[in-house]
Amino acid sequence: MSDDMEDATAAVMARCESVSAEEDGFSFCRMQVTDVVKGDPRLANSVLEVSVLGDVSPGGVFWLVGYGETSLQWASPEEVSAQAVSYFRGLTRLPDAGPRRLEYFLKFLRHGDPFVATDAYNEFAEASLADIAELRDQLDRQWIVDQILDPTIPVHRRRLCWTFLSQCGTAADAGLLDVSLRHRTADADFDPGMDAAIACCISLGGETALSRIEQKYMANPDAPYSDSFAAINAIRVHGTELDVVPRQRLSASLRHVLSRPKLADVVIPDLARWKDWSAIERIAELFATSTEDNRIVQPAAVLYLKTCPLPAAAEALERLRALDPKTVQAAESSMMFYRGLPAVPVPPPVQGS
């Protein structure tokens, strides 16, 4: 909503006075402005006539933003609670970014108005991990744990709570991943938010937790693809944005996936980004032994070998060229237009995040 306010000419709260039905599910509403949050103060007590999709009852309170200079064009109203007024007023006094901005939204994550709570969540969805880390002393650990285990909580909010827990939790809280998995076993509709859950588990449990993750989801050929993919994403976050486990150790975890040909192409770019050149022979072997089920590994292997500066990589690439010149040439040609993930530099993790 703060983004909407920044672009809008006016932002107001208005109470619906009367409703008349229109076609196509719209209602025509007369609304009286009760609070002017942004714009001309003379809008107070003025009457607006707007169309609202769906059923509307007289007496409801709505949030409206208007655009234009000479004649305001009002966007579709959003019904909110009367208590939302203070929230919207506060949006006009915030810094553009940073932890002090997030501090304002933190207390509204529990707001009784779903519209306000969702809007506050959206601010955290766009926040950096570094800014969230600055709030660690203000996080309510027990509320966060309760949210994670609450089956009625949408998965996107659960994922945010895992991020919170990684900042304020204890080493023992790393076991909350197992509790969540038991919930999923008992209730197929329960989504733990696996990538965020695994990232949190590693943050709290360090290399001990990482060892469990790699045994269960990386090296295990029977692990569900979705869980393994989530674990890869979690390790990727740790390797690029955090400094809990050394990148060399994280890279070793990803190398376990090279034993699973159908999934190997997912991690090869990460190994190249992190300059892990210890897998030259294994990656060349994946190219040479690929089948129709995992043919996608071939261009990833070529890109890895082309990116590696070691003579052994060039030698391996020439062997593959002799084996399948068309595939190697096609992968090399693609690098003329898109150099691929292996060529993208990755900055070192932020110290102390």
Could you read off the pLDDT of 235-282 as tens digits, one per residue?
999 999 888 999 999 999 999 999 999 999 999 999 999 999 999 999
Burial of 48 (0-12, 13-18, 19+ CB in 10 A): buried
Q: Which residue has the higher pLDDT, 43 or 25?
A: 43
SS3 176: helix
**Mean per-residue pLDDT for 55-64?**
83
- Length of the chain (residues): 353
> In the chain, what percentage of residues exceed pLDDT 70?
94
Mean pLDDT score of the chain, rounded to an integer? Answer: 89
Cβ atoms of residues 103 and 135 within 8 Å: yes
Q: Give the integer Cα–Cα distance in Å for 119 and 124.
A: 9
Res. 174 pLDDT band, cuts 50 70 90: very high
Within the chain, what is the greatest distance between any pair of CA atoms? Answer: 80
R_g over Cα of the chain: 26
Task: Give me the helix-helix angle, 225-241 and 247-255, nearest 10°.
Answer: 160
Q: Is the dihedral of CA 277, 280, 286, 288 positive or negative?
A: positive
151 exposure class (CB count in 10 Å sphere: 0-12, 13-18, 19+):
exposed
Q: What is the pLDDT of residue 337?
A: 45
| More reliable by pLDDT, 315 or 1 | 315
Confidence of residue 336 (pLDDT cuts 50, 70, 90): low
